[in-house]
Amino acid sequence: MSKIKAKYDVIIIGAGSSAYACSIRCAQLGLKTLCVDNLDTNTSSGAFCNAGNVGMITLLESAKLYDTLLNDIDSHGIFAENVSLNLPKMILHKNKILDEINHNVIKIFAEYKIDFINSKASLIAPKIIELSSAHSPSQQIHAKYIILATESIPITIPCTPIDNEFILDSTAALNLTKLPKRLAILGAGVIGLELAAIWNRLGAETTLLEAQETFLGLSDNQISRQAYQIFTEQGLELRLGARVISTKIINKKVLIEYQDADGTHAIRVDKLIVASGRKPNSESLSAPEADLLLDENGYVHVNENCKTNLPGVYAIGDLTLHGPMLSHKGMAEGVFVAEHIAGIGSSSINYNIIPNVIYTEPEIAWIGQTEQALKAIGDRINIGIFPLSINHQPKSVINANGMVKVIACANTDTILGVHIIGCHASELIAQAVLAMEFSASSEDIARIIHSHPSSAEALREAALVIKNKGLNS
Ligand code: NAD
């Protein structure tokens, strides 16, 4: 065992989006920073950036272009003949984008003089990590602060052993170079729905098997109902209350058994994608003698400043139970912790105001509370809904389905939640984030002049409806 002389202020374990944001902010604040991760540099998915998210968005965009050319463009007076799919090229395009992002991160790290070591690392005591690699002797490195940012990994379930040939995890599901005729996806959560939006639009007959009886239980019920209807109309087969209990590979097909209220059923598909949720990547993050406090599900215990139970050790991103498993939440924590360590004391993170986005077609985005949650606690609320089919801007784009729903407190008019399904929802929600961060009322939004025609004015229209002043409804 060799020791590297202490020379770092901060060591960040992990190289995902939280670690990336944290490393850069630490370096900007003059802290000598080391980032360590065990990356598979032979593949684009073993990358610095959040390869899953970027890969997903890139393929979603490709699938949307393909589907639009095939099915939706004629009404614009554009006729595309002989449209065909070159899947290997589409995957290559996605990997090229991931490589570009990787190179960019390497360049930025070099500019900020952030050191990077490609190795497995674990915390062995406060301020000490140990690097272990198959090719070199293990070594220890000291730093004043250690930030744990190893994010999350897919939850595996015994009845769906991943072989990445027939039963795929969500990473392999972004690298298929041959279109499956019949595809099943276990789990209709965010990842399952986004993967379904890719493969269904590229032409695979796609069935989602979801154990829960409710569809998109975390989002507003009215939005989930509309999403269910739109996705079903798009040809997605959504089986709710369907728990997968066994799988077998027979003659190069996957035989899936699932149980629902009517009993046990079987379907045969070419591929099964498992999107059964994610868990914190904390299994070999610390040695037992380090005494890092985890809960029974592997989440690292942290206080409101992202500090663990060990002095000088912080945890950010998907590793903690604070807020949802979202890259932007982890990135905000990364910046916060860097500033906390540097003593410039930025205000703590408002976990109540974190936008959620599902990049399906149409997109779904929300912030704040749902109608059902507010009613359950007996809050008096006013609701304004604006259907996007009335909005002038979405009319000119291809998919005009959807709605914007604004929920405000009946007493103070403060906005408590905004829920959107429709094109540009991921962009439109940013207005609501800003409004809620500044405790705006629905009247504030209604009084702001928006450009016309634009998708953005749909939020104002929904706010106007709350005061019965809607211009278009
Ligand atoms: P999820 O928990 O949202 O969904 C997993 C689903 O699998 C659940 O609904 C569960 O009921 C179902 N399931 C589990 N076992 C099953 C079985 N045997 N049979 C049938 N269904 C079964 O998890 P996810 O979609 O994998 O996402 C994981 C996390 O990553 C989430 O917290 C999500 O917010 C986050 N994430 C978000 C984004 C985004 O915001 N765009 C993108 C990627 C990941």
Whether 158 is in a domain gets the answer: no
Mean pLDDT of 316-344: 95
- Average pLDDT on 307-319 reads 97
225 CA distance to ligand 1 middle (Å): 18
pLDDT at 90: 98
Tell me which residue has its CA closest to atom 6 in ligand 1. Answer: 187
Please state the rounded mean pLDDT for residues 418-445.
96
**What distance in Å separates the CA atoms of residue 124 and residue 292, rounded to the nearest whole number?**
9
Residue 473 in domain = no
Whole-number Å distance, alpha carbon 364 to ligand 1 midpoint, is 15
User: Do residues 140 and 75 both lie within one domain?
Assistant: yes
Residue 102, pLDDT score: 87
Whole-number Å distance between alpha carbons of 2 and 9: 20
User: What gap in Å lies between CA 213 and CA 328, rounded to an integer?
Assistant: 29
Read off the CATH number of the domain in which 379 is found.
Answer: 3.30.390.30
State the pLDDT at residue 358.
Answer: 97
User: DSSP letter at 235?
Assistant: T
Sequence letter at residue 116: F
Of all protein residues, the one whose alpha carbon is nearest to atom 24 of ligand 1 is 277
Q: From CA 303, how far away is CA 50, in angstroms rounded?
A: 25
Evaluate whether residue 105 is within a structural domain. yes
CATH number for 8:
3.50.50.60
Query: Does residue 159 form part of some domain?
Result: no
Is it the case that residue 52 has pLDDT exceeding 90? Answer: no
The atom number, within ligand 1, closest to the CA of 191 reads 25
Do 81 and 204 belong together in one domain? no
Report the chain's mean pLDDT, rounded to a whole number.
Answer: 92
Of 276, 294, 313, the residue at which a domain comes to its end is: 276
Instruction: Please give the number of the atom of ligand 1 that sits closest to the Cα of 358.
Output: 41
pLDDT for 396 equals 59
Q: In the predicted model, is pLDDT for residue 121 greater than 60?
A: yes
* Residue 452 appears among annotated catalytic residues: yes
Protein residues whose CB sits closer than 6 Å to any atom of ligand 1: 53, 157, 186-192, 209-212, 243-244, 275-278, 324-326, 356-359
∠ CA 188-405-425, nearest 5°, is 60
Who contacts 204 (Cβ-Cβ below 8 Å, separation ≥6)? 179, 180, 181, 182, 183
Give me the residues paired with residue 12 across strands. 35, 147
Model confidence at 46: pLDDT above 50: no
Q: Is residue 162 part of a domain?
A: no
pLDDT at 325 over 90: yes
Residues 138 and 26 in one domain: yes
Q: Where is average pLDDT lowest: 80-94, 335-349, 389-403? A: 389-403
Domain that holds residue 404: 362-466
What pTM value is reported for the model? 0.94
Tell me how far the alpha carbon of residue 262 is from its chain's centroid: 33
In a domain, 440, yes or no: yes
Q: pLDDT exceeding 70 applies to what percent of the chain?
A: 94
Residue 404 near residue 383, CB atoms below 8 Å: no
Look at 52-61, 134-143, 152-161, 409-418 and tell me which has the smallest mean pLDDT. 134-143
Q: Looking at ligand 1, which atom is closest to the CA of residue 52?
A: 43
Residue 472 lies in a domain: no
- The answer on 130 and 10 residing in a single domain is yes
Would you state the pLDDT for residue 393? 59
Determine the distance separating the centroid of ligand 1 and the alpha carbon of 191, expressed in angstroms: 6
Residues 140 and 285 in one domain: yes
Q: For the chain, how many structural domains are there in total? A: 3
Q: Once rounded to an integer, what is the mean pLDDT over residues 83-94? A: 97
* pLDDT, mean of residues 466-471: 82
Same domain (yes/no): 447, 374: yes
Q: CA–CA separation, 380 vs 409, rounded Å?
A: 6
Dihedral angle computed from the Cα positions of residues 427, 431, 433 and 438, in that order, rounded to the nearest 10 degrees:
160
pLDDT for 53 equals 84
Condensed to tens digits (0 to 9), the pLDDT of residues 181-223 reads: 999 999 999 999 999 999 999 999 999 999 999 999 999 999 9
Q: Is the pLDDT of residue 320 over 70?
A: yes
Q: Is residue 206 part of a domain?
A: yes
Q: What is the mean pLDDT of residues 27-47?
A: 79
**Same domain assignment for residues 190 and 324:** no
- Give tens-digit pLDDT for 384-414: 999 998 766 555 565 678 999 999 999 999 9
Which letter, b or e, does each residue of 326-347 get, where b requires 16 or more Cβ atoms within 10 Å of its Cβ?
Answer: bbbbbbbbbbbbbbbbbeeeee
Cα of 77 from ligand 1 centre, angstroms: 40
Catalytic residue among 76, 103, 265, 452: 452
List the residue whose alpha carbon is closest to atom 41 of ligand 1.
358
Model confidence at 473: pLDDT above 90: no
User: Which residue(s) pair with 381 in the sheet?
Assistant: 409
pLDDT of residue 44: 45
Q: Which ligand 1 atom lies nearest to the CA of residue 209?
A: 20
Pick the last residue of a domain from 213, 245, 276: 276
Q: Is 131 exposed, middle or buried (0-12, 13-18, 19+ CB in 10 A)?
A: buried
Strands 381-387 and 402-409: antiparallel
Residue closest via CA to ligand 1's atom 27 equals 277
Domain co-membership, 43 together with 143: yes
Asked whether residue 134 carries a pLDDT value surpassing 90, the answer given is: no
- Distance in angstroms between the alpha carbons of the first and the last residue of the chain: 72
pLDDT at 45: 44
**Is the CB of residue 176 less than 8 Å from the CB of residue 191?**
no
Q: Which of 50, 276, 358, when mutated, tests ligand 1's pocket best, judged by the most ligand atoms within 8 Å of its CB?
A: 276
- Is residue 254 located within the same domain as residue 391? no
> How close is the Cα of 187 to the center of ligand 1, in Å?
6
Residue nearest to atom 38 of ligand 1 (CA): 190
SS3 state at 83: coil
Domain end (from 226, 252, 276): 276
**Cβ contact 109:273 at 8 Å:** no
Q: Are residues 143 and 205 in the same domain?
A: no
Choose one of 278, 318, 328, 420 to mutate for the ligand 1 pocket test, by most ligand atoms within 8 angstroms of C-beta. 278
Interval between CA 414 and ligand 1 midpoint (Å): 31
Q: Give the nearest ligand 1 atom to 324 CA.
A: 32
User: In this predicted structure, which of 173-177, 265-269, 342-346, 401-405 has the lowest mean pLDDT?
Assistant: 342-346
Residues 145 and 33 in one domain: yes
Q: Are residues 215 and 292 in the same domain?
A: no
Nearest to 458 by CA among 399, 390, 362, 395: 390
Mutate to test the pocket of ligand 1, among 53, 191, 254, 426 (most ligand atoms within 8 A of CB): 191
pLDDT of residue 49: 61
Structure tokens at 183: 């595809």
Rounded distance from Cα 76 to ligand 1 centre (Å):
37
Look at ligand 1, atom 26, and give the residue with the nearest C-alpha: 277
Helix 457-466 crosses helix 425-437 at what angle (to 10 degrees)?
50
Q: What is the pLDDT of residue 439?
A: 97
